[in-house]
A = this chain, B = another copy of it.
Amino acid sequence: MATTPYHHGNLRDALVEAAVEVVREGGPEALSLRELARRVGVSHAAAYRHFADREALVDVVAERALEAMVAQVHRRLDRVDEPDPVTTARRRLVELGAGYVEFALTETGLFRLLFTAYPDPPEGKGDGDDAGEDPYNLLNRALDELVAVGFIGPELRAGAEVTCWSAVHGFAVLNVEGPLRGLSADERDATLTALLLGIDRAFGAGGSWPPLAPVALTTS
């Protein structure tokens, strides 16, 4: 039994683990069922006992990626510590965006996979159970908070999620796989700060609020 047991034991988990690793290193296009099987030490068709097709495996990796992203965003969100509630809410929105971008730049492969098979979050707005563990929900709650503390006028709330998400996502995409990928860390921090403070200005245009501190990414 010591020599190559016929049954792997927990092939499914092993495949997922290997898949995550492969995608982290080479992005979605590096994900090959056959190479995965090779890596795990199993025949090339064995994976089909656990995944209907390649797509199904991609979906599982996407879930993992989403979790990792939420974790990274939370890490940044939790560091926010401001005396003023308005500044707190504003800062949280900024850090939310910065965490999103940070994940995109740190875990390029996972991020790229995420948006070749994103699990349509805006549709499932009804399930209030695990709501919150999803960047989209985090964003909406941050915006609601900004309305609650009086920073965002209620008339500007509609569509604000899409505006924020678009800006931050666009920045991430352009920097990860787009024409902005050559930017230095300093240039990135500067332009990202301009973008995030721009959003802040767009929402708080009504009143006269104190300026926000710049942002710096930890791209490691």
Closest to A159 in B: B194
How many Å lie between the Cα of A190 and that of B162 in the bound state? 10
CB interface residues, A 194-208, toward B, < 8 Å: 194-195, 198-199, 201-203, 205
Interface bits A164-181 vs B (CB < 8 Å: 1, else 0): 011111111110011110
- Is A162 touching B180 in the complex (CB atoms < 8 A)? yes
Q: Which residues of B contact A201 (CB under 8 A)?
A: 201-202, 205
Contact of A179 among B122, B174, B195, B198 (CB under 8 A): B122
How many Å lie between the Cα of A194 and that of B202 in the bound state? 10
Interface bits A183-220 vs B (CB < 8 Å: 1, else 0): 00000001101110011011101000000000000000
- Is A166 touching B171 in the complex (CB atoms < 8 A)? yes
Interface bits A133-165 vs B (CB < 8 Å: 1, else 0): 000100000000000000000001011101101
Known: A163-B198, A166-B167, A201-B201. A182 touches B115 (CB 8 A): no
- Is B123 touching A178 in the complex (CB atoms < 8 A)? no
Check: A118 CB closer than 8 A to any chain B CB.
Answer: yes
- Is A170 touching B166 in the complex (CB atoms < 8 A)? yes
Point out which of A160, A167, A191 has the most chain B C-beta atoms below 10 A from its C-beta: A167
Q: Which residues of B contact A119 (CB under 8 A)?
A: 179
Closest to A136 in B: B179
Closest to A197 in B: B202
Contact of A163 among B136, B165, B177, B191 (CB under 8 A): B191
A-B contact pairs, 23 of them (CB 8 A): A115-B173, A115-B178, A119-B179, A121-B179, A123-B179, A123-B182, A159-B190, A159-B194, A160-B198, A162-B171, A162-B174, A162-B180, A163-B195, A163-B198, A166-B168, A166-B171, A167-B167, A167-B170, A169-B170, A170-B173, A173-B173, A201-B201, A205-B205
Chain A interface residues toward B at CB < 8 A: 115-116, 118-123, 136, 156, 158-160, 162-163, 165-174, 177-180, 182, 190-191, 193-195, 198-199, 201-203, 205
